[in-house]
Amino acid sequence: MKVISVVGARPQLVKLAPIAAAFAKSDHRHVIVHTGQHYDADLSDVFFSGLGIPDPDVHLGIGSGSHGAQTGKALAALDPVLAAEEPDWVLVYGDTNSTLAGALSAVKQHLPVAHLEAGLRSFNRRMPEEHNRVLTDHAADLLLAPTEEAMRHLADEGLAARAVLAGDVMVDVCLAVRDAVRAGEHPRPVLPDGVDTGAPYLLATVHRAENTDDPQRLAGLIDALADLPVPVALLAHPRLVARAEEHGVKLARGAVHVGRPLPYGAMVAAVLGSTGVVTDSGGLQKEAYLLARPCTTLRPETEWTETLADGWNHLVPEPGDLGRAAWIDTATRPAPAAPRGTPYGDGRAAERVVKILEER
Ligand code: UD1
């Protein structure tokens, strides 16, 4: 069997790592195509080197642009590559513009396409990721769902016959890296100046278009972080840095100490070293849950609803609406005493994905 993985953005590289490792243990041919949506070393190269992913076989170098331009460039560049490779499966990951481009290129060339992390929904039609995941699910031949909840969403949309519960490959990689961090196999993370890894700190990221692109909203979120009584290590995605500069919003002030995005191992170590996480990232909400740190999510909804159980994750769309004391209490709350379930599977999802592709 020959499978092409189409990836392009940071979260896809994390999911690619366990899949590439599972293929390496098999007799199948696995071809990695990187669209080049993410090109900064911090967002791309360090994930290949840090997670032991083989270099991409093909790099399309499409770069940044408006949603249409970026998706269109990737689509046009993918067509000849997929046509020449004639894979048995095209595997697309998550919900980025690269995901949609991969699914469209494959389906229009009658190449079987499988969507990893199918069935997630925020039901927020303003999110670019929601457009990408809904359109990809409806185009794909095989829907690899991470959770029961995702299976229900697919059934509600008439897609049950194409859906399989595969589990979540992010558990595979997160738990393996956690164990390596604990065994001292990863260097200590470099946190921003002013954040002492031996003392309590919160780890924060903000990068969603809904949070970064409106100047008032961005300023309000940074005000709220700056007001917290513990140091906040804000690992700044290039989109955040670019929009903050454009809108004249100063990031480094009050409790906020700004650093660069971290490689995956350092990120897991930084979560483990923290007392909690404040984020709008989907992946980080789940990593906080898997690593038993309380998470505060700066969004009105989450695709990973299982993390909300027992207060492990709290949704705070507008910290300003909560009132100062309640915001501080929420963001600095201790980890709940309640044990966490295993809604995301057993950490062997990638092997299962390879088996499912093989059987079909
Ligand atoms: C993309 C995904 C988002 C995912 C995120 C993870 C879409 C619609 N969104 O958002 O779901 O959570 O990746 O990071 O696909 N930039 C750089 N260097 C880079 C990449 C981007 O400087 O290597 C800057 C550019 O200013 C660019 C902006 O970040 O315009 C946004 O990049 P883009 O790839 O469009 O989306 P992300 O915000 O990264």
CA of 28 to the centre of ligand 1 (A): 31
Q: How remote is the CA of residue 38 from the centroid of ligand 1, in Å?
A: 6
Region 39-48: mean pLDDT is 96
**pLDDT-based confidence at residue 186 (cuts at 50, 70, 90):** confident
Nearest CA to ligand 1 atom 19: 38
pLDDT in tens, 218-276: 999 999 999 999 999 999 999 999 999 999 999 999 999 999 999 999 999 999 999 99
Cβ of 35 below 6 Å from ligand 1: no
pLDDT of 79 > 90? The answer is: yes
- pLDDT for 190: 85
Cβ partners under 8 Å of residue 228, min gap 6 = 202, 254, 255, 328, 331, 332
Residues annotated as catalytic (active site), given as ranges: 207
Instruction: For strands 142-145 and 58-59, give the pairing.
Output: unpaired
Q: In DSSP terms, which residues pair with 30 in a beta bridge?
A: 3
The verdict on the CB of residue 97 being under 6 Å from ligand 1 is yes
71 C-alpha to ligand 1 centroid (Å):
12
Ligand 1 pocket member 43 (CB < 6 A): yes
SS3 313: strand
* pLDDT of the residue at 185: 87
Residue 197 pLDDT level (bands cut at 50, 70, 90):
confident
Per-residue pLDDT band for 117 (boundaries 50, 70, 90) equals: very high
The response to whether residue 64 sits with its C-beta less than 6 Å from ligand 1 reads yes
Neighbours of 320 (CB within 10 A): 14
Percent of the chain whose predicted confidence (pLDDT) is above 70 = 100
Ligand 1 centroid distance, CA of 239 (Å)? 6
CA 202 to chain CA centroid, Å, is 19
The CA distances from residue 62 to 66, 77, 83, 98, 134, in Å, are 12, 8, 18, 10, 23
pLDDT of residue 96 exceeding 80, the answer is yes
Ligand 1 proximity of 207 Cβ (cutoff 6 Å): yes
The whole-chain average pLDDT of the chain stands at: 97
Candidates 15, 38, 260: which one to mutate for ligand 1, based on the most atoms within 8 Å of Cβ? Answer: 38
Q: Give the strand pairing for 202-205 and 113-116.
A: unpaired
* Residue 189 confidence class, pLDDT cut points 50, 70, 90: confident
pLDDT at 187 over 80: no
Question: For residue 175, what pLDDT is reported?
Answer: 96
3-state secondary structure of 211: helix
